[in-house]
Amino acid sequence: MVVLNGNDLTLDNVYNVVVRGAECIISDDAWKKVRASRNRIERQVTQGNIVYGVTTGFGKLSDVSIDEHHVEPLQANLLRSHAVGVGEPMPQDVVRAMLLLRANALAKGFSGIHPDTLQLLVELLNHRVHPVIPSQGSLGASGDLAPLAHMALVLIGEGEAEVDGQVLSGSAALAKAGLSPVRLGAKEGLALINGTQAMSGIGAMTLLETKNVGKAADYAAALTMEALRGIVTAFDKDLLATRPHRELEEVGERLRTLLHGSRRVTKQGELRVQDAYSLRCIPQVHGASWQAWNYAYERLAVELNAATDNPIVLSDDKIVSGGQFHGQPIALAMDFLKVGAAEWANISERRIERLVNPQLSGLSPFLAKEPGLQSGFMITQYVAAALVSENKVLAHPASVDSIPSSANQEDHVSMGTIAARQCRQIVTNVAKVVAIELICAAQAVYLQGVEKELAPATTHILNWVRNYVGPVTEDKSLSKEIEAMGNAILAGSLEEAMADSDSAQAKQASSMETKPVM
């Protein structure tokens, strides 16, 4: 169970709720804050005070006063008018992340939401009622207006939602789950849609996948080092310490651990003095990509527990309109992660080329068993190159663009949701490139007949690859295998396999230490 209070939601919590289906509840202290915030809004309406989005219109229409009798219809109209997103529906994991993050933000008690509305939002998660949310249409500035409006419509029994694999009307979806729609009061529609939860939801799921892909890139590089007899001296601890970037040193340590016990890797001067950059500079390149991940993680960790509403209900006499909804912090973080993730694929593709090119590897051309008669892995490098090239287009920063909206009232926007969507596509592409490197490295090991010379850790990597692709002795399509391995990498299957092998080795070592001497 995950308890929401608006302050300490973590990426692990997100994973547990979104992927593992952990139940959510709001903490008692959070409920007190939510009720107090709601009371402040209702007093403002009763007193006839001018409060943006409560007794006024929205955006450029903020100067239009709304009388007390129209306060409630104003909120429903806001959802209906803003739910105009287009494109393919958001993936289910993103929808669940959006529900979770919006509930957590509202639980902070700065939005004036009614407790019943917040509770229903949580019930959508717990009962797996997933609003159908189009993926395109957010500028990422006044919050993710269009995506969140589609999400919120279901709360009032409108829009569409998926339940048990079936897409139903909002009212039918609620009824199937034994839930009832709410009637929105003053400010509630605005409280539901003014936030960054679409870009943050995509970003959170992308961060989880990127961590798995980054680890897989390190594992693939280690297996390639084995296949090409790379020079492990380049990962020397003292050498890397002279340029003390933490992530660089961590990648170097990981590679030394993975390659410990190998009879394949070489030392400086044994076969050659230096390797090509795609081998020699793995710590520097991979480490820099991990720096991008860490930066994005730090920004998302803040955003998971941020109030991104407008206006913010601070106290009895202090309700302030500001720009807390602006997505620029997440937009820049996602753009940075796009570049960092793309580089894992860029250098991986170069290692793939070294594996399949006989002039660089000294191995059978294109890793074919019978080159000439067979084309072997020639086109796998083409596919990797195509994915890398596509990533270069997607990596162009979305955040440098801005198109004014709402009659120029909203004259600078973040495009953060676009950046997040592009980032996830890049990471998906990277996973496939890394899968191709793993397949090629495994084939290179097979052709040389050196499986028994690998380090224990890289042997586990090879065994994981063999669950998807065996030694290739004749030409065959590998499309399905690449897709399956890419998806497994995204889901963390390789990382879990390596963690299990580490645990097994630790237990074995422990049992040997405690075994009585005969």
Catalytic residues: 52
Helix ranges, 364-415 (H): 378-394
- Per DSSP bridges, beta strands 160-163 and 2-4 are unpaired
3-state DSSP call for residue 228? helix
Which helix (H) or strand (E) segment is 219 a member of?
A: helix 197-228
In whole angstroms, give the CA distance from residue 344 to residue 214: 7
Which helix (H) or strand (E) segment is 161 a member of?
A: strand 160-163
CB atoms closer than 10 angstroms to residue 266: 17
DSSP string, 37-103: HHHHHHHHHHHT---TTTTB-SGGGGGSB--GGGHHHHHHHHHHHH---EEEEPPHHHHHHHHHHHH
| HEC readout, 117-136 | HHHHHHHHHHCCCEECCEEE
Q: Are 216 and 209 in contact (CB under 8 A)?
A: no
In whole angstroms, give the CA distance from residue 149 to residue 80: 7
Which residue type, as a one-letter code, is found at position 52?
Answer: Y
Peptide bond into 311 cis (omega under 30): yes
Q: Tell me the β-bridge partners of 410.
A: 405
